[in-house]
Amino acid sequence: MGRLLFSPKMSSTIERVPKVKIYPDKFKGQVAVITGAAQGLGEVTAHTFAAQGAIVVLVDIQKDKLEKVVDEIKSKGGQAAYRVVDVTEESQINELIEDVIKTYGQIHIMVHLAGIYPTIPINETSTSDYRRIMATNMDASFFLVKAVLPHMNERGYGRIICTASGTLQNVLAHHSVYIAAKAAIAYFMRATAMECTLGVTANTICPGLIASAAVRAKYSGSSLFEDTIQKQAVKRSGEPEDIAHTICFIASPENAFTSGQIFDVGGGATFH
C-alpha cells in the first residue's frame, strides 16, 4: 500500500503551505537520548534532532540498523552515537544513563519511542505476551524516567517525552494489552510532571495512524488508512516527520510552561 499523502483536489492547497524550516543550531550542545532509534519514528526523530545540532544517542537492540543510522547522520555533518540496550532490562537502562552522562556530561532530552504492538485477541494473549508488551512499553518508561529524572532535576533542565497512542480513544480490536500499556504511560507521565523541578518537563506524545514502513506493511491490503483519513480533520496520512517535528517542539527550550500533557498528533481523528 502506497502512502496516502493527500487527495488530488488538495494539491494546490499543499503547494501554498510554507516549507518546514530546520535551524542547524537550535539544539546545539544538547544531548538527546532516543530509544527505538534503529528504524521508523525513532530513526526519523534522531535525524531531525541531529539536523538541528543535537548530539543524538540512538538506543535500540538492533546493532546493524543503529550503525547504519549513525553513519547516515554523520555523513550529513551531524553528531551521533549508539548504544545497544534492551529497554526492558532496568540494569541496562541504568548503565545507559550513567554512561551517557559520563561521556557527555548531561542529558538534556530523553525520548522513549521503543515499543511493540502485536495484534492478539484477549483470549489468545498468553501471560508471557502480556508481560512482554507491558515491559517494552510501560516498564521501559518507568526505568528511563527513574534513571534520568534525578539527573535532570539536579541540573535544573530537561525534557522527558514518552509515547502513548491514538488507540487510547480510537480503539482497535485485538490490542487490549498494548492499549492498556499506553494508557498507563500517559498517566504515569502526568504524575511524573509533578515531581519535576523548575526547568524540567515531562510530556506524552500520542501518535495517530502514522504511515511508517512497518505500519504500512502491517496493514497492507486493509482499508485502515482510508477509513482513518475520513475521521480526521486533516485529510492525509500522518508521516513520521509529523511526529519528529512535534517531539522537537516539545523538547525545545521555548516549550517551558507545558508539562504533564498529552500531545495528540493524529490529524484530528481524536480529541482529548
Residue pLDDT, tens place only, 161-172: 999 998 888 888
Closest CA to 33 of 97, 126, 128, 92: 97
Span 74-108, pLDDT tens digits = 999 999 999 999 999 999 999 999 999 999 999 99
Helix axes 176-193 and 127-134, enclosed angle (nearest 10)? 30
Quick one: how far is CA 220 from the chain centroid? 23
Span 99-140, pLDDT tens digits = 999 999 999 999 999 999 889 999 999 999 999 999 999 999
Closest CA to 185 of 121, 82, 111: 111
pTM of the model: 0.91
pLDDT at 52 over 90: yes
Closest CA to 217 of 141, 130, 145, 119: 119
Q: All domains of the chain, ordered by start, with CATH?
A: 27-211+239-259 (3.40.50.720)
The pLDDT confidence band at residue 1, using thresholds 50, 70 and 90, is very low
